[in-house]
Structure 1
Amino acid sequence: MLLAITRLAEKGSADAALCKKYGHECRIVSPLRAEIRSSTIQTFVLAAADGEFDAIFFTSALPAQKIAPLLNPTITKKSRVIAIGPQTAKVLHDAGLAAETLPTFYSRDFVPYLGEWINGKRIGIPRADVPNPGLINAIEDAGGMAFEYRCYGLEPTNELLNFDEVDAVLFTSANSYKMALLPSMQNILPIAIGDITADAMQAGGLEPKVVGDGSLEGTLNALNIYLESVQ
């Protein structure tokens, strides 16, 4: 199948190889663009270097790409560095940072992963300028202190997505669905990367036929299981 995958242009470099592994091709379509805030990144890097955080949580690969090369690998002697998934972890590892990886692909599992350790700890979170009150409230409810650094904004491209000859579209986030300009979805299989994205699609009137585990690889695996079931 030819899949359209909603990604920031900066984040789709590994998708083609992974899709090929599962027998598919892909086209990156970008309903959003990132506006990098260099001054916020620099403020975060300086705070991290000064040892202001007991843990740093990278919630996606893009901030890891922008920030990891600016961090001295010895930062891990001051702070636990935690990635939301293996792709983000790879970016950190490639920069020489010894990063832990959450066992799932959802920020809601960050606090359960840390457990009682989080009590009294300062957590630095470089991320997109998208509210995530669930994460912040969970950290604070567990006795931690959350310090968000909104190091990039997400703006709609306001461009009609190119679905020419596409067999399926894989939405990789709730915002990539809600802020997309969509052409006709007739005869196109709608796919959600995870349950949060699926909820947004359902609220917008588009029922996903496949829902992944929050990762691209898990979603491609779920897609192939679905395709086998309908043959």
Structure 2
Amino acid sequence: MLLAITRLAEKGTADAALCKQYGHECRVVSPLRAEIRSSTIQTFVLAAADHEFDAIFFTSALPAQKIAPLLPPHLTKTTRVIAIGPQTAKVLHQAGIAAETLPTFYSRDFVPYLGDWIEGKRIGIPRADVPNPDLINAIEDAGGMAFEYRCYGLEPTSEPLNLDDVDAILFTSANSYKMALLPSLDTGSLLPMAIGEVTADAMRAGGLEPKVIGDGSLEGTLKALNAYLRSTE
């Protein structure tokens, strides 16, 4: 199948190879673009270098790409670095930053992962300028202190998605669905997919029922797609 994958252009570089492993092709379509805030990144890097955080949580690969090369390699001697998934962890590792990886792809599992350790700890979170009150509230309810650095904004491209000849569309976030300019989708021929439950809920709220729902990762979604295709043969 040819999949249209809603990604920031900066995030889609490894998608084609992974899709090929599962027997598919892909086209990255970008309903959003990242507006990088260099001054915020620099402020965060200085704070991290001054050991102001007990842990840093990277919630996606893009801030890891921008920040990891600027961090001192000795950082992890005093600071835990946690990545939301293996792709984000890979970016950190390539920059020489040792990172732990959450067992799931959802930020709601960050606090349970740290457990009682989080009490009294300062958590630095470089991320997109998208509110995540559930994460912040969970950290504070567990006795931690959250310090968000909104190091890039998400702006709509305001361009209709190119869905010519595609067989399925995979939305990789709630915002990528909400901000997408979509043609009228014929769900009889175009398979709607969600990368995880949060995105699926946003699609349902907008009146589009996903036929395939992943575990929060592209690879997990491709596995779910192939299972769906086998079930409909």
TM range (shorter): over 0.9
1-side partners of 2:42 and 2:175: how far apart?
26
Aligned to 1:28: 28
Aligned to 2:41: 41
Among candidates 222, 225, 230, match of residue 228 of structure 1: 230
Aligned residues: 231
- 3-state SS of 1:152 partner: strand
Q: TM-score, normalised by structure 1?
A: 1.00
Among candidates 187, 190, 195, match of residue 188 of structure 1: 190
2:220 pairs with 1:213: no
2:122 pairs with 1:146: no
Aligned to 2:129: 129
Aligned to 1:96: 96
Letter in 1 for 2:228: Y
Aligned to 2:164: 164
Unpaired runs of 5+ residues, structure 1, are none
- 3-state SS of 1:125 partner: strand
2:58 pairs with 1:58: yes
**1:185 Cα deviation after fit:** 1.4
Deviation per CA, 1:155-191: give whole Å up to 9, x if none. 0000000000000000000000000000121121000
Deviation per CA, 1:60-86: give whole Å up to 9, x if none. 000000000000110001210000000
- Structure 1 stretches (4+) deviating beyond 2 angstroms? none
2-side partners of 1:225 and 1:215: how far apart?
15
2-side partners of 1:225 and 1:33: how far apart?
32
- 3-state SS of 1:48 partner: helix
Letter in 1 for 2:133: P
1-side partners of 2:77 and 2:56: how far apart?
12
Letter in 1 for 2:121: K
- 3-state SS of 2:182 partner: coil
- 3-state SS of 2:136 partner: helix
- Identical-residue share of aligned pairs (%): 86
- 3-state SS of 1:169 partner: strand
2-side partners of 1:50 and 1:168: how far apart?
47
